[in-house]
């Protein structure tokens, strides 16, 4: 049973923008794009982003300081994320591979640490960029 999150006005504006863009967006680029909708300040953007990340509607691509809509319908909370990133064209996609996620979710070592969350970023060249 999972909680339904009704997005607030600003959250919805910002989620829709990121979702429609189809790729990662940076916070100040988001800000620029939503100013005509009345969102004027960085903090308004960051607050919405924080919430959207918290509920798993978007993820932060840490190596790029950018935010992407969740492409994995089962990813309700951002506790186990994996991305592939093309170092040439900067295309990003969310990897949804159940073997990988099982392997990582069950990973443990002898450090005595209990892992509750992970983020994995793969880098390389995408199909298009490889063939250039």
Do the Cβ atoms of 24 and 61 come closer than 8 Å? yes
Pick from 43, 77, 89, 120 the residue near Zn ion by CB under 5 A: 89
Pick from 15, 18, 24, 51 the residue near DNA by CB under 7 A: 51
Please report whether residue 28 would count as binding a copy of itself according to CB under 8 A. Answer: no
CA–CA dist 89, 12 (Å, integer): 28
Q: Of 55, 64, 54, 52, whose CA–CA distance to 16 is shortest?
A: 52
Q: What is the nearest approach in angstroms of DNA to the Cβ of residue 34?
A: 10
Q: What is the nearest approach in angstroms of Zn ion to the Cβ of residue 85?
A: 9
Q: Assign residue 44 a region: left if phi > 0, alpha if psi is -120 to 50, beta otherwise?
A: alpha
Q: What is the nearest approach in angstroms of DNA to the Cβ of residue 84?
A: 20
State the angle between helix axes of 42-54 and 27-34 in degrees (0 to 180), rounded to the nearest 10: 120
Pick from 8, 35, 63, 88 the residue near a copy of itself by CB under 8 A: 63
Only one of the segments 15-23, 36-44, 68-76, 107-115 lies at the binding site for DNA (rule: CB under 7 A); that segment is 36-44
Please report whether residue 8 would count as binding DNA according to CB under 7 A. Answer: yes
* 69/101 with CB nearer DNA: 69
Between the alpha carbon of residue 96 and those of residues 13, 101, 102, 115, 120, the distances in Å are: 26, 8, 11, 19, 12
Q: What is the nearest approach in angstroms of DNA to the Cβ of residue 62?
A: 8
* 13/59 with CB nearer a copy of itself: 59
Beta strands 80-86; 66-69: pairing state: unpaired
């Amino acid at each position: 049973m999972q909680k339904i999150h009704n997005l607030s006005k600003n959250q919805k504006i910002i989620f829709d923008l990121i979702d429609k863009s189809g790729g990662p967006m940076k916070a100040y680029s988001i800000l620029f794009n939503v100013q005509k909708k009345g969102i004027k300040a960085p903090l308004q953007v960051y607050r919405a982003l924080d919430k959207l990340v918290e509920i798993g509607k978007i993820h932060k691509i840490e190596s790029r300081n950018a935010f992407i809509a969740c492409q994995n319908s089962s990813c309700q909370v951002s506790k186990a994320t994996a991305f592939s990133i093309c170092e040439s064209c900067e295309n990003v996609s969310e990897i949804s591979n159940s073997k990988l996620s099982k392997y990582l979710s069950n990973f443990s070592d002898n450090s005595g640490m209990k892992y509750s969350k992970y983020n994995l970023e793969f880098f390389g060249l995408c199909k298009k960029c490889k063939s250039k």
